[in-house]
Amino acid sequence: QVQLMDSGGGLVQPGGSLRLSCAASGSPYSINVMGWYRQAPGTERELVAHIFSVGTITYADSVKGRFTISRDNAKNTVYLQMNSLKPEDTAVYYCYAQVGPSTTLKYFDYWGQGTQVTVSS
């Protein structure tokens, strides 16, 4: 059973910083992708950033230059450093991992429980 433990959210003023962390455990296969999504009330969940095992990184246009994703493969942990936070960054942030391929060539998606980020004066 794969588990993703995400944490690090909180209340911060505009212009402030937060660092989110997510540790994966229990995976019988390699983790191909780890990343972060976010969802604000009344909106669909959207991609924030992905980091692949080979090192490729993608960011949403709205966070480029402000957020940095990184990965510690030895600890199976992904981080999201968020700087220059804006009120529109307010959302629940969810850790994501894609595990596989399995022996039957399947991939599996897993999600953390989410951590609340609130940017407000």
Average pLDDT score over the chain: 94
Q: Is the pLDDT of residue 30 over 80?
A: yes
First-to-final CA distance of the chain: 40
Q: What are the tens digits of pLDDT across the range 71-89? A: 988 888 999 999 999 999 9
CB neighbours of residue 13 within 10 Å:
10
- Give the lowest-confidence range in 5-9, 51-55, 82-86, 106-110: 51-55
Q: What are the tens digits of pLDDT across the range 35-83? A: 999 999 999 999 999 999 888 999 999 999 999 999 988 888 999 999 9
Q: Is the pLDDT of residue 28 over 80?
A: no
Q: What is the dihedral of CA 37, 51, 110, 44, to 10 degrees?
A: 20
Q: CB under 8 Å to 106, separation ≥6 — which residues?
A: 100
For the chain, give the number of residues.
Answer: 121
Say what the pLDDT of residue 110 is: 95
Kindly state the average pLDDT of the residues 84-107: 95
Q: Nearest Cα to 47, choosing from 31, 58, 33?
A: 58
Structural contact between residues 77 and 21, judged by C-beta atoms closer than 8 angstroms: yes
Give the type of residue at 60. Answer: A
Q: Where does the pLDDT of residue 109 fall: very low under 50, low under 70, confident under 90, or very high at 90 and above?
A: very high
